[in-house]
């Protein structure tokens, strides 16, 4: 049995044997780290409860705070806290202890979206949660991409690193397409506009640019939102970012991050030429939420749950034996046990810059 994402409650239902003389029972909870050679350890004994002659029900909430306290209690080494725990339950009536045969397996990563929000990374919570609901696939190309997955403008407000990267990118794009010479960015823009010209050959004036989020299948058999087919420039940001949950990027996990540009405006057919009026530029992030098995043991972050209201994510642990080491292998283990957890492509919202640029073809 496994404890599902966004479910903390374990429910034990049982009926006593007919004719039993005892009128009270207790519940014992044991725990062990399945990744090491360890005997199960008693971590909790309930207060005595009255025994009903028919159906009895016992509830235990294993939230992130309960899990953390148990992890610290059973950790018998100087290594990081266990990121997977098997919980065993016994029903004690009188002198007799009856063990429930199958343990509940709990993966610490199921709590990460909630913990990221407590740590102040609200956008990271949303970005992280989606993975847990998708079928257990590691092929991002077969899942519909998520649009508006991260708020681009909010990221500009919360991340100085991203703001600086964006400003450099934005200035480069505007400068290049404004120049009279034929540079690579300008050439790519013209090629995208030409596709629209070919469609509306008989019209004298028409708009170009799209924000349509309908998912389409490209010639390369990749699922993308329609607006992404209109982008004219793609710049990778990955070399500027930190592997794992990036504190400088509002706690987001960015694995193949690129910044893309699209243009909006009008095409006007004159007698001797075409005039392209660019009125707005749109910028957005495209990335994957995916895990690489080759990097299975590289830390994405170290999470320290200090109390119920304070959680800290660090690139290196402050106190190793007080922190959970989050690695890609945790996600593969969760996927195997739950048959859920799917990789996917995602897109941010589109951020706009008003411009006034004219090109003559």
Q: What is the 3-state secondary structure (H, E, C) of 250-299?
A: CCEECCCCEEEEEEEEEEEECCCCEEEEEEEEEEEEEEEECCCHHHCCCC
Compute the distance between CA of residue 101 and CA of residue 207 in angstroms, rounded to an integer.
67
Compute the distance between CA of residue 88 and CA of residue 69 in angstroms, rounded to an integer.
16
**CB neighbourhood size of 172 (10 A):** 14
Q: What's residue 201's pLDDT?
A: 63
The gap from C-alpha 342 to its chain's centroid, in whole angstroms, comes to: 10
Q: What's residue 20's pLDDT?
A: 80
Q: What's residue 4's pLDDT?
A: 65
Regarding beta strands 324-326 and 344-347, do their DSSP bridges make them parallel or antiparallel, or are they unpaired?
Answer: unpaired
Q: What's residue 138's pLDDT?
A: 63
Give me Rg for the CA atoms of the chain: 27
**CATH of span 9-112:** 2.60.40
Q: List beta partners, residue 56.
A: 14
- What residue ranges of the chain have pLDDT lower than 70? 1-5, 138-142, 197-203, 296
Question: Is residue 213 helix, strand or coil?
Answer: coil
Q: What's residue 140's pLDDT?
A: 66
Compute the distance between CA of residue 360 and CA of residue 270 in angstroms, rounded to an integer.
10
Domain residue limits, the chain: 9-112, 134-290+343-360
Q: What's residue 282's pLDDT?
A: 96
């Amino acid at each position: 049995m496994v404890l599902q994402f966004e479910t903390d409650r374990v429910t034990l239902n049982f009926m006593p044997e007919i004719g039993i003389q005892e009128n009270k029972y207790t519940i014992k909870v044991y725990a062990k780290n399945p990744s090491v050679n360890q005997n199960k350890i008693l971590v909790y004994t309930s207060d005595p409860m009255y025994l009903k002659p028919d159906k009895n029900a016992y509830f235990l909430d294993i939230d992130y705070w309960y899990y953390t306290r148990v992890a610290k209690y059973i950790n018998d080494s100087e290594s990081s806290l266990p990121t997977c725990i098997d919980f065993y339950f016994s029903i004690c009536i009188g002198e007799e202890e009856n063990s429930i045969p199958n343990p509940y397996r709990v993966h610490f990563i199921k709590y990460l979206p909630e913990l990221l929000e407590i740590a102040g990374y609200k956008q990271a919570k949303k970005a992280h949660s989606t993975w847990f609901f998708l079928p257990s696939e590691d092929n991002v190309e077969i899942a519909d991409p998520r649009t508006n997955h991260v708020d681009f403008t909010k990221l500009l407000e919360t991340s100085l690193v991203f703001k600086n990267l964006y400003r450099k990118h934005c200035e480069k794009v505007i400068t290049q397409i404004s120049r009279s010479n034929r540079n690579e960015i300008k050439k790519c823009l013209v090629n995208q506009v030409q596709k629209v010209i070919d469609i509306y050959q008989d019209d004298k004036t028409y708009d170009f640019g799209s924000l349509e989020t309908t998912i389409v299948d490209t010639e390369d058999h990749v699922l993308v939102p329609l607006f992404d087919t209109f982008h004219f420039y793609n710049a990778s940001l990955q070399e500027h970012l930190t592997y794992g949950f990036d504190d400088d990027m509002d706690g987001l996990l960015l694995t193949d991050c690129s910044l893309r540009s699209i243009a909006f405006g009008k095409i006007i057919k004159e007698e001797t030429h075409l005039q392209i009026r660019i009125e707005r530029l749109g910028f957005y992030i495209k990335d994957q939420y995916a895990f690489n098995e080759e990097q299975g043991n590289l830390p994405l972050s170290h999470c320290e749950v200090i109390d119920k209201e304070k959680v800290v994510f660090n690139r290196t642990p402050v106190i190793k034996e007080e922190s959970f080491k989050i690695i890609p292998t945790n996600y593969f283990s969760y996927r195997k046990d739950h048959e859920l957890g799917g990789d996917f492509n995602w897109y941010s919202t589109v951020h706009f810059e008003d411009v006034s640029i004219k090109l003559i073809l």
